[in-house]
Amino acid sequence: MQLQIIGHTAPFPAPGLACPGYLVTEGETRILIDGGCGVLERLLTVCACEELTAVLLSHFHFDHCSDLFVLRYALDASRRRGLRTEALPIFSPSEPPELAGLLTYREATRHVAAIPGETLCLGAIRVRFLAAEHTLPVLGMVLEGTTGTLAYSADCRWGDGVVATARGADLFLCEATFQDGEEDAAGATGHLTARQAAMAAGRAGAGRLLLTHIPAAADRQVSLEQAHADVDLPVALAEAGRTYCV
């Protein structure tokens, strides 16, 4: 199974750098996780939208979902050209319903309410959703392929939930929005510091940690150093365009 970083910055893009979007592939299976601002343009350089098996949306903050509303148009065009016949399933929380409802568009896309604890098979990949603690309903995710397990924190604050999501993952893709000294802001806004991301990975016994969701204005090397400080496992910064084997 492979993870390609389409975008990783938040909560708004930077020149040449998209908000969170991650492409997970195994064989013919192609799953897009999240689709924030700038993701669709970057995605189309590596994958035609009609080739997608499914989309998994962690939550309805716009840095994670905005481009999915445009992806609807691209898939509708694909359908009219005969490139795809089935609606693309988009799994997400069901709240807020006024946004979830927009993910069903003509016969191009179909919203599917995802429930924490639920497991499903999408092509060659088994997906499990977990509840994450944030400021609105969020799904953490565990994706199991034939070669390994990827866990994704989505946006979440420190707590048992993020450790449970990372438990036993070979690769833990974890948000690290804040840095040392910003723990109060992190807790109040439902996010993690880089050090907390590493603590979660360490407690969960994850094999490797990949830091994401770091604002473009932050010094990412500082985040990396703070994550490294307390744990003895490989830690790296998510790099746009790069592919990681899981």
What is the C-alpha to C-alpha distance for residues 242 and 5, in angstroms, rounded to an integer?
Answer: 6
Shortest Cβ 61–Zn ion spacing (Å):
5
Q: Is 10 in the site for Zn ion (CB under 5 A)?
A: yes
Query: Is residue 155 a contact residue for Zn ion (CB under 5 A)?
Result: yes
Closest separation in Å from C-beta 201 to Zn ion = 19
Stretch touching Zn ion by CB under 5 A, among 4-12, 121-129, 138-146, 160-168: 4-12
Beta strands, E only, the chain: 2-7, 21-26, 29-33, 54-56, 88-92, 109-113, 119-122, 125-132, 138-144, 149-152, 171-175, 208-212, 235-237, 243-245
CB of 176 to Zn ion, least distance (A): 12
Residues 6 or more apart whose Cβ sits within 8 Å of residue 136: 59, 60, 61, 93, 95, 96
217 Cα distance to chain centroid: 21
- d(C-alpha 96, C-alpha 101), whole Å: 9
Q: Among residues 53 and 179, whose Cβ is nearest to Zn ion?
A: 179
Size of the site for Zn ion (CB under 5 A): 3
Residue 67 in the binding site for Zn ion (CB under 5 A):
no
Give dist(CA 51, CA 31) in Å, integer: 9
In the complex, the smallest distance separating the C-beta of residue 146 from Zn ion, rounded to whole angstroms, is 30
Instruction: Between 34 and 144, name the residue whose CB sits nearer to Zn ion.
Output: 34
Among 26, 34, 63, 144, binds Zn ion (CB under 5 A): 63
Residue range at the interface with Zn ion (CB under 5 A); choices 55-63, 103-111, 163-171, 235-243: 55-63
Total Cβ atoms within 10 A of residue 6: 28
Give whichever of 66 and 109 is closer to Zn ion, judged by the CB atom.
66
Q: Closer to Zn ion at the Cβ: 111 or 213?
A: 213
d(CA 169, CA 167): 6
- Our finding on whether 127 is near Zn ion (CB under 5 A) is no
Identify which of 119, 121, 51 has the alpha carbon closest to the alpha carbon of residue 88: 51
Q: Is 198 in the site for Zn ion (CB under 5 A)?
A: no
Count the Cβ atoms, other than its own, within 10 Å of residue 27: 11
CB-nearer residue toward Zn ion: 105 or 172: 172
Per CB under 5 A, residues contacting Zn ion are 10, 63, 155
